Amino acid sequence: MNDAMSIPHLIMNASTVVQLVMLLLVLGSILSWVVIFQRSFVMRRARKAHRRFEDRFWSGVDLNELYREVPPEQETQGGEHIFRAGFREFNRLMSKTRSPQAILDGVQRSMRVAWSREEERLNRHLVFLATVASASPYIGLFGTVWGIMGSFQSLSMAQQATLATVAPWIAEALIATAMGLFAAIPAVIFYNRLSSESGRLLGKYEDFAEEFHSILHRNLQGRGDAAGA
């Protein structure tokens, strides 16, 4: 490949608009990889933390003891966060009302709020990945169209248009499309993967909340039966 057809040479000699498009695509690609690594780390840590908490929860430990072991709300995540929110509301309502249904409704609302915060935390920045995945090919295509328009304008002023004359212009324009695909493909793959992982974790959190709600329901029933006896 001669110097005129090398990729660095084509990029350096592209029009200003095409260079700006390429710069935007490179920036989007770099930021998407930052999001990919950061979100992958968050998902892996959340998965391990939830597995560790569930093992402790189902080990038969007393709920009051487990509540004291759980870190403050600002430091909790996943199942720990949902458990802390629900059990705190349970203890608060136990001293204020004798209605089991009111207690359970309050616990369920608290756990639902905690679950929503976990959903927001897990899905943070995924919209950016979706934006890069969907917009990058079109941005690259815009750069290609602009580059081809410029090449035709230049060719109209040339004395003789041959393949050797046209090829560098077309290659220069198509680099923008290639860079758009280079930015979009990893963003699509990891957006789908991270969204799927987030959905699985949120499903586990929801299952835990339902099971914990059932445990508290049985606890209240047992206390009611004991008081009736």
Please provide the DSSP assignment of 64-121 as one string.
HHHHHHSPPGGG--THHHHHHHHHHHHHHHHTT---HHHHHHHHHHHHHHHHHHHHHH
When pLDDT is cut at 50, 70 and 90, the band that residue 152 belongs to is confident
pLDDT on residue 159 = 63
Averaged pLDDT score across all residues of the chain: 85
pLDDT on residue 107 = 92
When pLDDT is cut at 50, 70 and 90, the band that residue 171 belongs to is confident
Q: What is the pLDDT of residues 54-93, one digit of tens each?
A: 999 998 888 888 888 888 777 788 889 999 999 999 999 9
Q: Which two tokens stand for residue 98?
A: 């004798």
pLDDT on residue 86 = 93
% pLDDT > 90, the chain: 50
Task: Using the predicted structure, report yes or no on whether residue 99 has a pLDDT greater than 80.
Answer: yes
Q: What is the pLDDT of residues 112-139, one digit of tens each?
A: 999 999 999 999 999 999 999 999 999 9
Is residue 13 within 8 Å of residue 172, measured between CB atoms? Answer: yes
Domain boundaries, the chain: 3-228
pLDDT on residue 12 = 75
Q: Which of 216, 204, 206, 222 is nearest to 50 (CA)?
A: 204
pLDDT on residue 184 = 94
pLDDT on residue 202 = 94
Residue 38 has φ and ψ, to the nearest 5°, of: -65, -45
pLDDT on residue 165 = 61
C-alpha distances in Å from residue 6, one per residue of 1, 133, 173: 7, 27, 13
When pLDDT is cut at 50, 70 and 90, the band that residue 105 belongs to is very high
